[in-house]
Homo-oligomer: A and B are copies of this chain.
Amino acid sequence: MSIKRHYEREFVRTFFTSPTAVEGEDDSAKMLRSAAQLTGMQAPDVWVPDNEDATAPSMRDEGVENIVEVVSEYGADFPGEIHPRIVWHRDDPATRYQGFQHMLEIADPANGAIEHIDGFVVPEVGDIDDWKKADEFITIVENEHGLEEGSLSMSVIVESGAAELALGDLRTEMGKPANNLERLFLLVDGEVDYTKDMRAMTPTGELPEWPELRHNTSRGASAAGLVAVDGPYDDIRDVDGYNERMTENQAKGMIGIWSLTPGQVVEANKSPLPPKTGSWLLEVDDREIELEAADGKQIYNGDKVRLETTDSGYVLHTGGETTELDEDDLRKKLLDMTAYVPSMDDIVDSMEEFEAAKEAGKGAIAMTQSTTLVIDGVEIDIEKDRMWDEATYQAAQTPITLFQDVYEHRPDQHEELAEMYGADIVERATNVGN
């Protein structure tokens, strides 16, 4: 057994759950078996054989057998980490005891699965004392099976107000001698059951957005050195919505998200990586619209911003206002209304240039992006300057550090990354900032 099996990964993009036993199939482990063989962008950073909500209560003992069987067979080759979810409930000792028994069985070295298992996911936790009960059971499992104490990680699903409050206690509690909470790894929001626990309701039955919960989970992860993951996005056909949710989460420092299908895994593995090509955004009525790039120009195709030339200059219609502007003022106004989304190439370039400048004793450099905007057929050249100083440099490192973490731990994705970005950029991105 390795000494520190949890925490191989500093970032986790994807948390993919599979039912452990499905009734009525010839092979109840069918879904588990197919998930175990995923590779590349379809394979998650963390795979979760789900012996809780995804599996019918009556099938959960069989689920444990299936986990053992499938992980023994395929675990050695699985490219991500493996963290089965067991049953647990803060309000029900019988469920907790069942979870304990399932962990004992899954972790038995005689069964051959445990050497491929990185930890367990514990749902429905309550306050910090409840987290300690789960931690204690894992300690006993380790002890019974001759595993090193603390070698199995523990991830939790935050799906109660009590658990949300516990996120503020982790830093203080994790060092205490009477527990092994240092084994904590992922903090995963579970918005469906959280909504029930909070007794919240919406007219359409849609889930509330819960921005504060996601902030608090991300902050808890930051303060305790853990990794924050958002809960499932149910509408699996709504790819745009899933991507919007991930962009929102990333702005909260919550890089990972639950995936319900291999299709969602692909989206979520790619979402936090910088894009291959840069793009321009135009702010229209408080929303940002991506402009269409063609021949190095950026074209706005909607009708909410209109632009005309006159004898003396320009007339711009936007947000219900009409403004007459000369060329300089128009350019200034459009600069305010536009933003540039840098590509991986741009980020690596800027970092390299800044590193060279720093080497030469300069504390800041200006990076310029220029393009031609086209609105109603009228063309305007704009140039966007951005100062890069130490702080900009360090902030830009988050996606690069993530990329490097992926590159190090997911050799199965090297080929797809090279296809996405080109081998040259991949090489430079793996080296920059080190």
Chain A interface residues (CB < 8 Å from chain B): 11, 23, 53, 56, 127, 160-162, 164-165, 168, 171-172, 192-193, 195-206, 208, 211-212, 215-216, 218-223, 238, 247, 250-253, 255, 272, 281, 284-287, 289, 301-305, 319-322, 336, 339-342, 361, 363, 386, 390-392, 394-399
Interface centre among A252, A340, A392 (most CB of B within 10 A): A252
Please state if A201 and B340 are interface contacts (CB–CB under 8 Å): no
What residue in chain B is nearest A397 (Cβ atoms)? B196
Q: Return A216 CB to nearest CB of chain B, in Å.
A: 8
Please state if B164 and A219 are interface contacts (CB–CB under 8 Å): yes
Please state if B247 and A203 are interface contacts (CB–CB under 8 Å): yes
Interface of A is mostly: mixed
The 8 Å CB contact of A287, one of B219, B286, B386, B395, is: B286
Please state if A162 and B222 are interface contacts (CB–CB under 8 Å): yes
Question: Given the known A-B contacts A165-B168, A204-B281, A341-B203, are A198 and B252 also in contact in the complex, defined by CB atoms under 8 Å?
Answer: yes
| A193-B394, A198-B218, A199-B398 given; 10 more Cβ-contact pairs under 8 Å | A127-B171, A161-B219, A161-B221, A162-B222, A162-B223, A165-B223, A201-B395, A201-B398, A203-B281, A203-B341
Chain B positions within 8 Å of A127 at CB level: 171-172, 223
CA distance A161 to B254 in the complex (A): 13
CA distance A301 to B161 in the complex (A): 42
Please state if A302 and B284 are interface contacts (CB–CB under 8 Å): no
Please state if B272 and A301 are interface contacts (CB–CB under 8 Å): no
Task: Give the top 6 A-B pairs by smallest Cβ distance, nearest first.
Answer: A161-B222, A198-B253, A304-B320, A302-B320, A200-B253, A161-B223
Q: Return A321 CB to nearest CB of chain B, in Å.
A: 5
Kindly report how many copies of this chain are found in the complex they form together.
3
CA distance A234 to B241 in the complex (A): 31
What residue in chain B is nearest A301 (Cβ atoms)? B321
CA distance A425 to B341 in the complex (A): 49
Please state if B342 and A205 are interface contacts (CB–CB under 8 Å): yes
Chain B positions within 8 Å of A218 at CB level: 161, 198, 200
**16 CB-based A-B contacts, threshold 8 Å:** A165-B223, A193-B394, A196-B395, A196-B397, A196-B398, A197-B222, A198-B218, A198-B252, A199-B255, A201-B398, A203-B247, A204-B342, A205-B386, A205-B396, A211-B212, A305-B320
Chain B positions within 8 Å of A255 at CB level: 199, 201
Please state if A160 and B203 are interface contacts (CB–CB under 8 Å): no
What residue in chain B is nearest A206 (Cβ atoms)? B339
CA distance A343 to B171 in the complex (A): 46
